[in-house]
Chain A
């Protein structure tokens, strides 16, 4: 089965009129395909200071973004942040009020949706209820004026690619949610778009199916070497699938980075709080020494943090520490390390314990006033390491595990 799909993927790419290099590159699954038609230094998709207003409301506000060919890019953000509007502008359903959208170097901002080399997979799939699976997949091919025999071959190819063989004659209302999702995917891939846009493609699936489909989507994207742009409000989904994530808020991109950078090196308090869980301590920069900043926080006393690469300009900053980086122990680490400021050691009382299976989260009320969250992996089956409420503990973390945020 896997070999079949690999072969289809290969055929898919070799059939497109592109330099043969692309076909070779895609068979090597470890590397994404090089951009098909764009010069090496030019991104496949360039969004330049795009503005979209609905009345007085700016849904997208002077947003710029480059996306390279073969990328799996996720637009992540809370509802109403403008991510869907941005995606709809890429598809052509909305026209930007300002700015340019360059696809392969050409401005497509004003091009009508049915004349764009991009396709979209809709949130609720938008399958044509009066057409069967085959005709749904073939819809775009027929519009492109493809000869019948080719359409038949391509539909069969697509059905195999998304594992829908044998269901070609079913109508959408005779399919399960997962099967409908596959039809939608096959239909949007059939025209071999330069960019595939996916609007919350997995939101309608249950959790188990969603997770397996995430992996399948990733594999498919890698095999086809196609550029995928996905819109999602689910950060776990974005982090699982995407190579880069653009986090949006109020029509602007807050940060564009790899999942790891987003989590470990957020650039703002908002990002730190939006992605995952975080402890935030506010304070003033006291001193700099030996690559460390001493920050005097209101509720946790003096905290030593690693000096960021970019010099800190402000004196009032926030220190962000992820809960899993806050370790708890009964006595705390050796005092030498504490004295050398290579470890922050804070004492407090456990106030709450939540057992979540894979990990347990604790709330610790520090003697200095702050409440810290700590999460620890349950690496042993027996609860010998567990702490209970009212227990006195030492919470500790290294300066390297802290991020200094200025905004």
Chain B
């Protein structure tokens, strides 16, 4: 055996490892979900039919395959509950991402312009909220926003309002919760691109007659677009499927797709429809996901 092979083997193994991981923890569960989405609901254990039984023989498996159908997907398209849920999810994600960008960009820009020592501190301040549980932080917001919560108490004490305002269970509360929770995911990629930008570029722009505002729009902003793209997608994609924040902070009159999925699964115990909702959501997110992937790959090539 040549010396080269000794090193080649573990190298090949380590290349396979991520694929193996993806197979085990993504592809296999996804196939389960896909299969369930093509099944019919049933009062049984598990609550759907058909069930593949490898011991039942070839004919039984063939019969099980024949029993699979697209009925659940037809339901998704015909019942506007689902379509509205999807649309609401996309709207909420789009609005929240826009707010996140409007807040995150100036924060990241300010951070990137701080003296080096302060940048590290600012970075810590952005990350520190992660040290406490996400759920506890959302409950803290409930505490602040509820009828006799901190916010209403302060407003009443300052005589700004004469009676408590309804904050909780509104879209406003939900947007607040989403923006609060996702802000670091917007700030960090933006900060990363803004911080590595050469200050000499702005001097060059200024030297060539650009006012500070022109220099920002002609140089800083276009060069930060990869960061904008990463931040937007990093927020948009998970917000579309967000369940906890709308469930805890928003009202119950209109549901996001994550909530609908939860309802189908736990309240209706209709696993097949829930699975179909999940698969449809994934397909819906393929577009932004592939965009993100392309962006990342281009960044990697740039870096090389």
Contacts and interface: CB of A to CB of B under 8 A. Distances in A.
B207 interface: yes
Contact of A187 (B203, B208, B210, B219): B208
A139 B205 contact: yes
Interface residues of A, number: 24
A124 B200 contact: yes
A43 B268 CA distance: 89
Interface residues of B, number: 17
A122 B204 contact: yes
Given A126-B198, A128-B201, A143-B214, A113 B207 contact: yes
A114 B201 contact: no
Main secondary structure of the interface of B (DSSP, over half): helix
A120 B209 CA distance: 11
A191 interface: yes
B223 interface: yes
Contacts, number: 59
Nearest to B215: A114
Contacts of B222: 130
A105 interface: no
A129 interface: yes
Interface string A111-144: 0111100011011101111100000000110011
A126 B211 contact: no
Given A126-B198, A129-B223, A140 B203 contact: no
Given A93-B203, A122-B200, A128 B209 contact: no
B206 interface: yes
A200 B228 CA distance: 34
B201 A113 contact: no
Contacts of A127: 204
A114 B223 contact: no
A312 B222 CA distance: 64
A173 B198 CA distance: 15
Given A113-B203, A126-B198, A191 B223 contact: no
Contacts of A191: 208-209
A115 to B, nearest CB: 8
B209 A143 contact: yes
B225 to A, nearest CB: 8
A91 interface: yes
A144 B201 contact: no
Contact of B203 (A115, A122, A130, A139): A122
Contacts of A122: 200, 203-204
B298 to A, nearest CB: 13
Contacts of A91: 203, 207
Contacts of B204: 120, 122, 126-128
Interface of A: 91-93, 112-115, 119-120, 122-124, 126-130, 139-140, 143-144, 187-188, 191
Given A92-B207, A122-B200, 16 more contacts: A93-B203, A93-B206, A112-B206, A113-B207, A114-B206, A114-B209, A122-B203, A126-B204, A129-B223, A139-B210, A143-B214, A144-B209, A187-B208, A188-B207, A188-B208, A191-B208
* 4 tightest Cβ-Cβ pairs between the two chains A and B: A140-B208, A143-B209, A126-B200, A126-B204
